[in-house]
Amino acid sequence: MSHLIEIQNLKKEYRNEELVTKVLKGLTFNIDKGEFLSIMGPSGSGKSTLMHILGLLERPTSGNYKFETEDVSNLNDKQSAYLRNKKIGFMFQNFNLLPRLSVLENVKLPLTYSENKKNLAEKAKKVLESVGLEERIHYFPNQISGGQKQRVAIARALVNNPSVIFADEPTGNLDSKSSTQIMEILARLNKEGNTIILVTHDPRTAKYSKRVIKIKDGQLSNK
């Protein structure tokens, strides 16, 4: 059986004139469809850089990255954007909602780039209902709580029915009650068949996942 994601000897470094900063130092692992995986590590370990590469927001310096058996290591910006919009959903610590758009319009946004533009509002409403925000669809981001903002972000990540959802510190700006609600939604989505990749430094958040990959100083760690 093929893996959803295959990583082999993945490296990432940044150059600033003579200075070379090695962030990822040769990672090798696989992720299967339907997994709920946590990528853990302290600040500066390289976990967010790894998520950006897996989410096609950055390219690796070297190594191989296969997504659904396709080598995506060297896609150009246009190819990456197309695949990202079609196959990948994102959640971020700061929500990344557009303040001048309503909740419904924020969730509809990924659909405006899709090939099938029929019933966009209905699709957006359906995923908002699935996260319990059907009564907030015409509100704006400054009119809802942090937990509700993150639920909007979940709905936006789901609306294109992606192959995988990346969640980068999704509870980092939330209180404990809202954090629990968000993680319970992600756990439910995983039980429904969605692949979730969570980036976190919080062991309490990672407990919701089924497997943990630990990174330290740009390398996989068993500690």
Q: Look-up: residue for tokens 């954007």?
A: 81
Across 92-113, average pLDDT:
91
- Element at 207 (helix H, strand E): none
Average pLDDT over every residue of 48-58 = 93
Question: How far is C-alpha 156 from the geometric centre of its chain's CA atoms?
Answer: 11
From 165, 147, 157, select the one nearest 124 (Cα to Cα).
157
Q: Would you tell me which CATH number, out of the four given (3.40.50.1370, 3.30.470.20, 3.40.50.300, 3.90.1300.10), belongs to the domain 34-59+76-221?
A: 3.40.50.300
- What does residue 192 show for φ and ψ, rounded to 5 degrees? -80, 0
Q: What is the pLDDT of residue 120?
A: 82
Q: Per residue in 4-30, pLDDT tens?
A: 999 999 999 999 888 999 999 999 999
Residue type, 154: I
Paired tokens of 201: 């430094």
pLDDT at position 112 over 90 = no
In 3D space, the residue among 125, 93, 92 whose CA is nearest the CA of residue 106 turns out to be 125
Alpha-helix runs per DSSP H in 28-119: 47-54, 77-87, 103-108
pLDDT for the residue 116: 62
Whether 5 and 30 have beta carbons less than 8 Å apart is answered as yes
Q: Are the CB atoms for 152 and 92 separated by under 8 Å?
A: no
Residue 186 has pLDDT above 70, yes or no: yes
- Supply the mean pLDDT for the chain: 91
What is the pLDDT confidence band of residue 42, given thresholds at 50, 70 and 90?
confident
Query: pLDDT per residue over 113-168, tens digit each?
Result: 766 666 788 889 999 999 999 999 999 999 999 999 999 999 999 998 899 999 99
AA letter at 36 = F
C-alpha 205, offset from chain centre = 15
